[in-house]
Chain A
Amino acid sequence: MDQPDQTARDAARAQESALLSRIRDRDERAVEELYARYSGPLYSLAYQVTGSDRFAQDVVQEVFIAVWKDAGRFDPARGALGPWLFSLARHKAIDLVRRESTVRKRTVDVDLAFEKAPDDVDQEAWLRVQRERVRAAVAELPENQRVALELAFFAGLTHVEVAEQLGIPLGTAKTRIRTALLKLREIIGTSLAEAEPPDSRWITETSSS
């Protein structure tokens, strides 16, 4: 589904807006719906960054508290809800990692590019294809850029720490990491955030492992 129709995307956006509107109206069931939809992938990301079940749970909880306290911070004009939630989760996870050196030690070895998710996770073919597309895009990056990006993105290392870990100058580390992200933008093309099926069911599938 590389070219999903605009109507489907609009419908998904409208559904998200309605959900957040209910949360602003203090509707706990809306939080439950949001949780059912996103808790799995958010937890997965938080676990990947922190390397800790406890910290991953803390991150997920903090994300939902942040949404509950101030759902108005989400601006639909900037994009879909998913990227915003993931951004919140990653930000909170990185904060935790940077505060907790013990967590840091467990997360500096990152190897995602060729790691397979459990078979029973990706039951839906569409999602499997899309995720493989992103993995393939990451694999297309030059090795030195890929490694630097993974350390920065999934291990929550600062640019300074990535430079130390790889034994390269800070400026080189910054360039590798940032260039990698810019290249991914070109390689991936249509984002999963945009190629969203109408009912957003796919994202729930990632939490069903």
Chain B
Amino acid sequence: MDHRDLQQLAAGEALEDVGRLERVVFAVHRRTCASCRTLRADLDRVTFDLSLIAPARRPPVALQGSVIAAIRATAPAGPAPGAQASAVGDAVIGAAVRRWQVLGGAAMGVAAVLAIVAAGLGITTVRLEQDLQRSVAALEDASSQLTAQAAAVTVALDPAHVTVALETEPLAAGAAAFVVYRPGSADGYLMATDLPPTAAGQVYQLWIADAAGVHPLGTFTHDGDGAFVAPFGVVLDAATAAMITLEPSGGATGQPGPEVVFGEL
């Protein structure tokens, strides 16, 4: 991976001229790259500076009245989770990373305390074991998500990679999703931004279709926070389509549930 390519993406985004895939790749990358988060904020300031050197002009006096009249005629917007997430992208991403760090630290802390309690006092209870398992599972989820994101960005920047844009269904209106994979390998990922969070008791499930039929793959929860990356874990060369569906916890037991994103490969 060439970090300069990612810095170029930051500049492209600051100039509001990046493709959807580039936007997703950069969104995924900056979750884990503090320097690129800083760079992106700095570039916003550079564009601000540039804006100020436009030759100064005075707006017509009547414009103020038009603006006030327009806002009087405009109802305030209700909460717009998608827009909110976009506007505060950096903060959200930073918060997500911090939360994972805290989560990781907390999980390790819980694990350590529980281990001491169990070893030192010889106390083992079902409750303690469950807490430990949940903490470890949360840590593993956070760790695997970070690993998947880094790996997906690496694949997306590989000149040999293949990219396929997926169509978002009404369940994921406003989202952007892509499949990126390296032909001849199992390095394939679904990358998305602005996917809605999965509700309690629900998961997203990956699927691929090939000449042999439709195959369910992994299931994932998503908190709606920033970019979403899911590894396919299979070679996609022979796949003809990929999709995400919304399923009950544990995944589909038969036919796929409602489609969230879909695309032919």
Contact = CB atoms under 8 A, between A and B. Distances in A.
A91 B14 CA distance: 10
A51 to B, nearest CB: 11
A181 B43 contact: yes
A87 B52 contact: no
Q: What secondary structure prevails in chain B residues at the interface with A?
A: helix
9 contacts: A28-B68, A28-B71, A57-B66, A65-B67, A83-B47, A86-B48, A131-B53, A158-B17, A179-B8
A158 B11 CA distance: 14
A68 B72 CA distance: 9
B123 interface: no
A179 B7 CA distance: 9
A118 interface: yes
B49 A75 contact: no
Given A79-B45, A87-B44, A178 B53 contact: no
A134 B67 contact: no
B58 interface: yes
A94 B47 CA distance: 14
B8 A174 contact: yes
Interface string A137-167: 0100000000000001110001100000000
A91 B49 CA distance: 15
Contacts of B64: 32, 35, 39
A32 B53 CA distance: 24
Nearest to B69: A61
Nearest to A205: B56
Nearest to A175: B8
Classify chain B's interface size.
Answer: 35 or more
Contacts of A64: 67, 70-71
A174 B75 CA distance: 40
Nearest to B45: A191
Contacts of B57: 40, 43-44, 47, 56, 209
A208 B7 contact: no
A209 B88 CA distance: 34
A188 B49 contact: yes
Interface stretch (B79-87, B144-152, B194-202, B241-249): B79-87
B226 to A, nearest CB: 14
A26 interface: yes
A185 B46 contact: yes
A207 interface: yes
B77 interface: yes
Contact of B54 (A47, A79, A130, A188): A47
Contact of B56 (A41, A73, A94, A159): A41
Interface in A49-107: 53, 56-57, 60-61, 64-65, 68-70, 72-75, 77-80, 82-83, 86-87, 89-91, 94
Interface in A3-59: 26, 28, 31-32, 35, 39-41, 43-45, 47-48, 53, 56-57
A44 B11 CA distance: 23
Classify chain A's interface size.
Answer: 35 or more
Among B39, B53, B68, max chain A CB count under 10 A is at B53
A76 B220 CA distance: 32
Interface in B131-156: none
Contacts of B39: 185
Contacts of B88: 73, 75, 77-78
Contacts of A177: 11-12, 15, 17
Among B56, B63, B91, max chain A CB count under 10 A is at B56
B11 A206 contact: no
A199 B50 CA distance: 21
Given A48-B54, A57-B59, A94-B16, A32 B46 contact: no
A185 to B, nearest CB: 5
A53 B55 contact: no
Contacts of B83: 70, 73
B55 A191 contact: no
A1 interface: no
B42 interface: yes
Given A31-B67, A68-B71, A159-B17, A57 B52 contact: no
